[in-house]
Amino acid sequence: MPYQKSGVLVALVALVAVPSVAAAPASIGGRWKTDDGKGIVAMAACGAKMCGRIERLLINEPPGGQRDERNPDKTKRSRMVSGLQIYWNLVPHGAGWKGEGYSPEDGRYYTAHLRADGNKMTMKGCVSVFCRTVTWTRVN
């Protein structure tokens, strides 16, 4: 019996001594072309978290530039869409990233779930129980 107890003790010590290693999600850093081809979004670190800004629009803009005219906050409707931060507080979550997002196309804020896989990144945005998923492509 003493042998069995020491074997169990060694097994328990081994389990405690081996740190659990959770795989970090793939990096979402870089420049991404939107699924509809209307813009390039730059994803980068913002302190300890990740965020994303519209780097540039690939569509013909109205004179004076595209404005955030559908924002629910009327005081923000005159700001430029180019340069606008649309993702913030993105942190690792399982195999991807989770944070907050904003769509200037429809003026909605949503919970964002992002996951990169090579040169593709899928984004699922959810407002309440309604979700939409799109896939962006990495650009140089």
Mean pLDDT of the chain: 87
Number of CB atoms found within 10 A of residue 120's CB: 12
Output 21 or 130, whichever has higher pLDDT.
Answer: 130
Query: In the structure, what pLDDT confidence band is assigned to residue 108 with cuts at 50, 70 and 90?
Result: very high
Distance CA 63, CA 109 (A): 27
- Looking at residue 17, its pLDDT comes to 41
Q: Which residues pair with 124 in a beta bridge?
A: 113, 133
For residue 53, the SS3 value is: strand
Distance CA 36, CA 134 (A): 9
pLDDT (tens digit per residue) in 21-69: 557 899 999 999 999 999 999 999 999 999 999 999 999 999 999 999 9
Residue 14 reports pLDDT greater than 90: no
Residue 7 reports pLDDT greater than 70: no
What are the structural domains of the chain?
A: 25-139 (2.40.128.520)
Residue 18 reports pLDDT greater than 60: no
